[in-house]
Structure 1
Amino acid sequence: MKTYCRNAVLAIALAAASTSAHAVQADIKIWADVDPTVALMRADGSALPDAVKLAYQPGNGLTPWSEQVRIFSNDASKDISVRLANAAELRPVVAATGATPIPMTVNLNGRALQLSNLDFAASDLFDGALPGASIAMPLEIAQTTRAPITAAGLYEGLVSVVLLQKTGSP
């Protein structure tokens, strides 16, 4: 009887295990934005972050954000033009009455990026230390005039840096 009960319990346990066993599928969407000529990446070759939270210091404004970056190119002999796709600013999304856009400045290697092309000479960028990679440079995003922001709220913006490998060097 003891063996019969033990076998019955084991059979029930196996049946329960088999009915609860099932496959689980994990889906991960992957994507890539590919330009085989040029890319702006972190100095270590990894992708730049998709989002950055700027810290606000009451009475002092937004703390600048900076990251060491490199320009990666398939031809280190060609100059690179860099510009902004649109004016950099933080716009109030959910904010107190009177909130206005906050102008931002974007600098690459200490040079202010604008809506017009800013040329970087290949000879200044590519020193040959890392094949196809420029020197490491700071990319900085900062409040144009660091000052207190008087309207509380959530502000958002998009900084789009456009790189163009020139067809030849001057």
Structure 2
Amino acid sequence: MNFAMKVMAVAIMGFSLNAMAVQKDITINANVDPSLDMTLSDAQPLPTSVTMQYIPGNGLAPYTMQTKIWSNAYKDVNIKLANDVLLYDRAGTSNSVAITVSYGGSALTTTDRLMKASTLFPGGSTAISNGSIEQELKFTQGPLTPPATAIAAGNYTGVVGIVLTQATTSA
């Protein structure tokens, strides 16, 4: 009887192991703006952080990336900075470094700069599904803190806020 009970227990355990399941849950997030977006030129998201290299005697090396603008409508696009860009020392000192942000070779400010749809999408309204022409997004040290200016040692951080809006009229 003992042997029969052992066999039955092993059989029940075998069946219960086969009935086990593993569930893996993955949360998917999406930030959807139905009108505009800016990505890297290969349609990958812009990085959430970048590191500018410091070169003694030369300051912060420029950081560049090739980007595209995507739109659901063939309209002119306004681009601007949300705020002037300053890097602040994380240690809480008063040290800061001014950063210039340029797009397509022109410096951005907190005032809208109009980009014509005909320039962004030279193929016309049918070209919007391919994104805009590639343009360089560039971060450089200056102008309030020119590259030759010595920067105090520290770990600096700041946020670049780029605001895109569609113009209210068609191109």
TM norm structure 2:
0.79
Change (3 A) 1:106 1:22: farther
Deviations 1:17-60 (A, max 9, x none): x78x9755544443222111111111111111111111111121
Structure 2 match to 1:89: 86
> Is the 1:82–1:120 contact (alpha carbons within 8 Å) kept by the matching residues of 2?
yes
Which aligned pairs between 1:2-151 and structure 2 lie closer than 5 A? Answer: 25-76=23-74, 78-94=75-91, 99-128=94-123, 131-132=127-128, 133-144=131-142, 145-151=146-152
Structure 1 match to 2:165: 164
- Cα distance in 2 between the residues matched to 1:82 and 1:67: 17
- Cα distance in 2 between the residues matched to 1:92 and 1:114: 23
Once the two structures are TM-superposed, the CA of residue 150 in structure 1 deviates from its matched residue by: 3.3
Once the two structures are TM-superposed, the CA of residue 127 in structure 1 deviates from its matched residue by: 1.3
Considering only aligned residues, what root-mean-square deviation do their CA atoms show, in Å? 2.9
> Is the 2:88–2:97 contact (alpha carbons within 8 Å) kept by the matching residues of 1?
yes
Query: What are structure 2's unaligned runs of at least 5 residues?
Result: none
- Cα distance in 1 between the residues matched to 2:13 and 2:154: 57
Change (3 A) 1:153 1:24: farther
Q: Secondary structure at the match of 1:70?
A: strand
Q: Secondary structure at the match of 2:127?
A: coil
Query: What are structure 1's unaligned runs of at least 5 residues?
Result: none
Structure 1 stretch displaced more, 125-134 or 21-30: 21-30
The percentage of aligned residue pairs carrying the same residue is 38
> Is the 2:87–2:157 contact (alpha carbons within 8 Å) kept by the matching residues of 1?
yes
**Structure 2 letter corresponding to 1:131:** A
Once the two structures are TM-superposed, the CA of residue 88 in structure 1 deviates from its matched residue by: 1.0
TM norm structure 1:
0.79
- Cα distance in 2 between the residues matched to 1:49 and 1:67: 10
Change (3 A) 1:64 1:167: same
- Cα distance in 2 between the residues matched to 1:15 and 1:147: 74
